[in-house]
Amino acid sequence: MDKTKAHQLYLVHTLSHDTFICSIKLIKTKDMYGLLLKINSNQFVPNEIKKVGIDYFEAFEALFEELSALNIVLCCKGSQINTWPSGGLRDSTMGLGLYELVMGSKQLLPINILEPSTGFFADSWNAKQEFHKKWVESVS
């Protein structure tokens, strides 16, 4: 993923099912990583959201939570219920890498947190955490 340009993704409002295009840019400061989301619609205020964290995964979690509170889904792999990073992958990719988890399968291929997706999206961050716990149990 090119870390210097903005990437185009879709947003879906879960109540009205309206679809919007947004741009998301990775930002890096001395000791923080962040995401800057710009929604290309006057329907949303604010139409720009910035979240930072110790890595991009933590920043994504904060962005996911804020969008969820607005009934909005960011249509990317990071929003899918069945994606989660390992500690090693998270460290080596600064939180951009995830695995797509399949119950009972230890076969893992890395994907990018901001890769576009039409998959099954989580309705909360807790749901993602619960899926991950169940996956761990399924492969133990």
pLDDT value at position 107? 94
Of 115, 118, 86, the closest CA to residue 2 belongs to 115
- Name residue 76's beta-bridge partners: 116
Helix, strand, coil percentages (3-state) for the chain, rounded to 5, are 30, 35, 40
- State the pLDDT at residue 40: 80
At how many degrees (to 10) do helices 56-69 and 125-139 cross?
130
Q: Tell me what the pLDDT averaged over the chain comes to.
A: 92
The pLDDT value recorded for residue 43 is: 75
Average pLDDT over residues 49-59: 96
- For residue 129, CA distances in Å to 1, 57, 95, 109, 132 come to 25, 13, 16, 19, 5
pTM: 0.92
- Mean pLDDT over 90-107 rounds to 96
- Any idea where the domains of the chain sit in the sequence? 7-139
Check whether 4 has a pLDDT greater than 90. Answer: no
